[in-house]
């Protein structure tokens, strides 16, 4: 066994939180939120292959989060270097024709804050119990992941209050656009084929629209689509989480690339994510 815990390790809130099955819903919610920034969503629509490979971006994002959360230090550094390299090469164009870099720090900060806010708020709403101090610690831990993509950790909000202040300052720049509508439709009914297409009528209400309905009220107002009633969304989210938790963890944690199980094999069973390890 190795003693390399990566950049976070079993003693962090992140280690416990990111192993929860509600993270799958939270990840989709974060994409709805990110799409409200006109420049961030334009960069996605103009550079991403999500229309041709509808599951590819979701899979790559999940893989990066899994690697950063549970990978070795070398694996994390390699994954971060790949992301920075891709971002450096990409450009997008705004409505006036101005070209801009995808790795602009303001855009990277928006994507980071939207993602971690969605993760922690959706997980809490799903029934994952965290104290306010643990939420603040989570945001502080996530400064390390922000630094991996090129941000300065000390310029990234590191508490719930700081994140709320950041959103308050950023909301005036957010809006519904044609590109955000593309993402909204895509996340509701991704253009999958074959057997996956048969599951769309189940996916759309159970995941696609549920994830949208879990956005903050101000984000829902900006998108302009009717969500599920708040109580319905919460009940559905908690029901899905309860059902997923019936699946044995060794099976659930081996889905996709098995980051959690590889970390347990590397560090031993004492590193198994669980609430009792929360700092």
- How far is residue 104's CA from residue 132's CA, in Å, rounded to a whole number? 31
For residue 55, tell me if it sits in a domain.
yes
Which is nearest to 278 in space by CA: 74, 87, 123?
123
Helical (H) or strand (E) element with 101:
strand 99-101
Q: What is the span of the domain harbouring residue 90?
A: 13-265
Give the Å distances, CA to CA, from 218 to 65, 168, 221, 230, 248: 26, 10, 5, 13, 37
Q: How far apart are CA 116 and CA 166, in angstroms?
A: 13
Say if 4 falls within a structural domain.
Answer: no
| φ and ψ at residue 91, rounded to 5 degrees | -130, 155
Looking at the 3D structure of the chain, how many domains does it have? 1
Sorted by sequence, the CB contacts under 8 Å of residue 36 that are 6+ apart come out as 174, 175, 176, 180, 219, 222, 223
Instruction: Give the pLDDT of the chain (279 residues) as one tens digit per residue.
Output: 678 999 999 999 999 999 999 999 999 999 999 999 999 999 988 887 666 776 777 788 889 999 999 999 999 999 999 999 988 888 889 888 899 999 999 999 999 999 999 999 999 999 999 999 999 999 999 999 999 999 999 999 999 999 999 999 999 999 999 999 999 999 999 888 787 788 889 999 999 999 999 999 999 999 999 999 999 999 999 999 999 999 999 889 987 679 999 999 999 999 999 999 999
Does any domain span residue 3? no
The reply to whether 273 falls in a domain is no
Helix (H, G, I), strand (E, B) or coil at 53: coil
Q: Left, alpha or beta for 203 (phi > 0: left; psi -120 to 50: alpha)?
A: alpha
Residue 270 lies inside a defined structural domain of this protein: no
In a domain, 232, yes or no: yes
Task: With respect to residue 52, please indicate whether it lies within any of the assigned structural domains.
Answer: yes
How many residues would you count in the chain?
279
Structure tokens at 48: 């991403």
Interatomic CA distance for residues 163 and 137, integer angstroms: 12
Note the pLDDT of residue 86: 87
Residue 87 lies in a domain: yes
d(CA 69, CA 66) in angstroms, rounded, equals: 5
Q: Which two tokens stand for residue 89?
A: 């090469």
């Amino acid at each position: 066994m190795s003693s390399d815990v990566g950049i976070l390790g079993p003693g962090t809130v992140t280690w416990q939180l990111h192993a929860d099955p509600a993270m799958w819903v939270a990840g989709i919610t974060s994409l709805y939120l990110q799409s409200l920034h006109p420049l961030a969503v334009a960069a996605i629509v103009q550079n991403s292959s999500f229309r041709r490979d509808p599951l590819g971006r979701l899979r790559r994002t999940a893989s990066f989060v899994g690697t950063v959360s549970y990978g070795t230090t070398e694996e994390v550094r390699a994954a971060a270097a790949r992301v920075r390299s891709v971002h450096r090469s990409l450009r997008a164009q705004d409505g006036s024709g101005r070209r801009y870099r995808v790795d602009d720090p303001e855009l990277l900060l928006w994507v980071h804050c939207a993602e971690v806010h969605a993760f922690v708020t959706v997980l809490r709403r799903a029934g994952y119990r965290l104290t306010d101090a643990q939420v603040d610690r989570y945001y502080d831990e996530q400064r390390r992941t922000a630094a991996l993509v090129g941000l300065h950790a000390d310029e990234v909000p590191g508490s719930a209050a700081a994140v709320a202040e950041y959103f308050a300052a950023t909301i005036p720049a957010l809006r519904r656009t044609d590109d955000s509508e593309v993402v909204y439709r895509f996340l509701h009914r991704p253009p999958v084929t074959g057997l996956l297409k048969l599951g769309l009528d189940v996916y759309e209400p159970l995941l696609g629209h549920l994830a949208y309905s879990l956005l903050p009220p101000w984000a829902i107002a900006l998108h302009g689509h009717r969500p599920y009633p708040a109580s319905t969304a919460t009940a559905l989210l908690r029901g899905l989480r309860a059902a997923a938790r019936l699946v044995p963890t060794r099976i659930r944690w081996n889905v996709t690339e098995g980051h959690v199980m590889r970390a347990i094999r590397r560090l031993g069973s004492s590193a198994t994510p669980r609430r009792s390890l929360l700092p």
